[in-house]
Amino acid sequence: MQVYLDNNATTPVAKEVCSELLPFLNEQFYNPSSSYRNADPPAKAVARARGVVARFFGGEGVDSKEIIFTSGATESNNSAIFGALKANPGRRHLITSTVEHPAVLEVFKECKRMGAEVTFVPVDHQGNISLKDFVRALRPRETLLVSIMYANNETGVIFPIENLSRLTKETDQGILFHTDATQAVGKLPMNLNGNFKNVDMLSLSGHKIHAPKGVGVLYIRRGSAWRPIQIGGHQEHGRRAGTENVAGIVGLGKAMELLWEEQAGPVLENIRALRDKLECALLERIPYVHINGRDAPRLPNTTNLSCHFIEGEGILYQLDEYGISASSGSACTSGSLDPSHVLKAMDVPFTAIHGSVRFSLSRFTVEEEIDYVINVFPEIVQRLRNISPYWDQEKNIPRQEKVILCSE
């Protein structure tokens, strides 16, 4: 059996999305900027997708000119942050959190090397951002930009963007607020005229929502002080040069249309029920396991488990042997043996931080897959514990007498 539970890494392209975009790879291949008639259908298709994205974010009130198509969330984040810095030479203070995706965190580190001052706001054991620390970090007339993600890709923990952006604007209307909403799109409400009315910039990625890889969006509110980073062409109203990825954009539009229809439906509740079933069963069957961020508001599709006394990489390897794809959120992505910066920021104890596994579900996940994982996972953990130096195989308990477990 093949079980795919790594949907926060990438998702399969939906059938409807595939059939909508395919013509733009062959018979409608034309460059949308060309002046002849054949170029009309791709140009119109891009315009239509832009309208769909705008509607998704707030209907009539969102202008399609505020939507920039990019190559994905990494580019959107880079462009949002560097573009804000470029347009505001008078302000040099930036704020972010310690648990952002590297596509934000590394950009801020680079800004620091370029002379900006950056405040990294910490999180607590559950992954919640400290509102007190956040407010303390805001500096009227000095802070240029705040960038805080909507939902964490490793733990699924949700940040209160509505509050954070309101507090930012109450401090100083001139501070720009950006959110990386990549993992939250289609799962959490985001209306740029409603709960997100104080958000100036927002990033998302196609391949997390059943559209293809290599396409994303950067929303920039009209009037925001921002300058383009990618220059050398008139495309995207001069804000992102380069021939449009027409097929990708059409696919993204279709994927967002599907999400739009889905929002009213029971899809998310079904995903949550399967995720909860998985968590409950594994907690019941395996000792010394905890769920990172369990008491925080979380995405319905994500669970991040720490299995004490074993290595996440070992677990992933064994899961792979059973045909199960998951992620450990640490060494595999960084190429080093460092534990995840997100779990480190949450102060997950040493015996647990290395044994973390993330399962992320999608609308295509079915109950048989979850049951299969529930069946094989406890065996895998037991097998790895039997060869762990922290585990007493004979007594089947941890070897260390005093083990600090995470506060649950």
Is residue 70 at the binding interface for ligand PMP, with CB under 6 A as the rule? no
Measured from the CB of residue 344, what is the shortest distance to ligand PMP in angstroms?
A: 17
Catalytic residue, candidates 18, 111, 280, 332:
332
Residues 21 and 210 sit within 8 Å (Cβ to Cβ): no
Residue nearer to ligand PMP on the CB measure, 209 or 376: 209
d(CA 67, CA 239): 10
Is residue 180 at the binding interface for ligand PMP, with CB under 6 A as the rule? yes
Q: Which stretch binds ligand PMP (CB under 6 A): 72-80, 137-145, 231-239, 303-311?
A: 72-80
Q: Which stretch binds ligand PMP (CB under 6 A): 67-75, 84-92, 302-310, 319-327?
A: 67-75
Site string for ligand PMP, 207-236 (x = CB under 6 A): ---------x--------------------
User: Dihedral angle at the C-alpha atoms of 197, 64, 50, 265, nearest 10 degrees?
Assistant: 40
Question: Strands, DSSP E only, in 236-349?
Answer: 289-291, 302-307, 324-325
Q: Which stretch binds ligand PMP (CB under 6 A): 176-184, 223-231, 265-273, 361-369?
A: 176-184
Residues 248 and 212 sit within 8 Å (Cβ to Cβ): yes
Residue nearer to ligand PMP on the CB measure, 53 or 376: 53
User: Is residue 18 annotated as a catalytic residue, yes or no?
Assistant: no
Query: What distances in angstroms separate CA 126 from CA 96, 157, 173, 213, 345, one per listed residue?
Result: 18, 8, 31, 31, 10
Residues 6 and 327 sit within 8 Å (Cβ to Cβ): yes
Could you tell me where the DSSP H helices lie in 359-408? 367-386
- Retrieve residue 165's tokens: 């952006």
The number of CA neighbours under 13 Å toward the Cβ of 25 is 9
Is residue 74 at the binding interface for ligand PMP, with CB under 6 A as the rule? yes
Measured from the CB of residue 161, what is the shortest distance to ligand PMP in angstroms?
A: 13
Q: Interface residues for ligand PMP in 128-157 (CB under 6 A)?
A: 149, 153
Member of 7, 205, 230, 340 binding ligand PMP (CB under 6 A): 205
Residue with tokens 């980073």: 229
Q: Which stretch binds ligand PMP (CB under 6 A): 69-77, 118-126, 262-270, 345-353?
A: 69-77
Residues 108 and 148 sit within 8 Å (Cβ to Cβ): no
Residues 251 and 206 sit within 8 Å (Cβ to Cβ): yes
Inter-axis angle of helices 267-285 and 367-386, nearest 10 = 30
- Retrieve residue 225's tokens: 């002080």
**In terms of DSSP bridges, do strands 216-220 and 201-205 run parallel, antiparallel, or are they unpaired?**
antiparallel
Is residue 50 at the binding interface for ligand PMP, with CB under 6 A as the rule? no
Member of 3, 21, 54, 73 binding ligand PMP (CB under 6 A): 73
Residue nearer to ligand PMP on the CB measure, 28 or 78: 78
Give the number of residues in contact with ligand PMP, rule: CB under 6 A: 12
Is residue 302 at the binding interface for ligand PMP, with CB under 6 A as the rule? no
Binding stretches for ligand PMP (CB under 6 A): 72-74, 101, 103, 149, 153, 180, 182-183, 205, 216
Known catalytic residues are: 332
